[in-house]
Amino acid sequence: VVQLVRDPRGILASRIETFRDTYQLWRLWRVTGRRPHNLDLGQVNTVCEDFFRPVSTGLAKPTWLRGRYMLLRYEDLARFPLQKTKALYSFLALVLNHSVEDWTINNTRGSSDMSSRQKFTTVRDSAANAENWRVKLSFDMVVYTQSACQLLGYKKVFHPRELRNLSHSLVEDRTFLPFF
Ligand SMILES: *[C@@H]1O[C@H](CO)[C@@H](O)[C@H](O)[C@H]1NC(C)=O
Ligand SMILES: *[C@@H]1O[C@H](CO)[C@@H](O)[C@H](O)[C@H]1NC(C)=O
Ligand SMILES: *[C@@H]1O[C@H](CO)[C@@H](O)[C@H](O)[C@H]1NC(C)=O
């Protein structure tokens, strides 16, 4: 089992963009700066649970997962694509050949070394993508979400300055090694 997890605040931001009808009131909140009184609080609980339930199962290290479980944080994969891809392949006992390595480098690096044409292809800055919820959600929305969710492995923010300062990482320095 390879479990890919993401910061619940990032999950929420992504769902707001993807399921526009379902998350309409969240968009209204973002635009008006006021939380609609009829906002469905169940939606944020679902986001929290979708994150927390599998993670807590994995981290409890049940014997039935021994040697078969790896937790991978999306943010780590985005920040260190090659290093994490190597760890993943090694866990799966697969050989990482040069084409996969090249593909990973080509499709995750930043825009600094790209021609403007490439910006509109699949070439992405994966680290910036993983963090873009920090400019897409309002501070109130973030505070609300992080008070509802248990942020295992991620840091809360207490000030808008902290939220928007992308040099300040919200990913706790942790390695989740496969357990045997
Ligand atoms: C590299 O690995 C990929 C994916 O497993 C495979 O499709 C490809 O044929 C391999 N290439 C070489 C040169 O071994
Ligand atoms: C990676 O990018 C280089 C340079 O643009 C290109 O020559 C190469 O074919 C690409 N490799 C893969 C696997 O995408
Ligand atoms: C942003 O965060 C970095 C790292 O924590 C810190 O050194 C810097 O002073 C912060 N910048 C602002 C404008 O708060």
CA-nearest residue for atom 12, ligand 3, is: 165
Domain region containing 43 = 2-81+127-164
Residue 26 within a domain: yes
Residue 72 within a domain: yes
Residue 96 within a domain: no
Partners of 4 in beta bridges: 72
Residue 160 Cα to ligand 3 midpoint, Å, equals 12
Residue 9 within a domain: yes
Question: How many domains does the chain contain in total?
Answer: 1
Residue 138 within a domain: yes
Mean of the pLDDT values across residues 152-163?
Answer: 96
Alpha-helical (H) ranges within 72-132 are 74-79, 81-91, 98-108, 126-131
Q: Are 140 and 35 in contact (CB under 8 A)?
A: yes
Ligand nearest to the CA of 169: 3
Residue 17 within a domain: yes
Residue 107's pLDDT band (boundaries 50, 70, 90)? Answer: confident
Query: Which of 106, 109, 124 to probe ligand 2 with, by most ligand atoms within 8 A of CB?
Result: 106
Q: Which two tokens stand for residue 134?
A: 């920090």
Residue 140 within a domain: yes
Residue 69's pLDDT band (boundaries 50, 70, 90)? Answer: very high
Residue 106 within a domain: no
Mean of the pLDDT values across residues 32-58?
Answer: 92
Q: Rounded CA gap, 59 and 39, in Å?
A: 32
- Is the Cβ atom of 161 under 6 angstroms away from ligand 3? yes
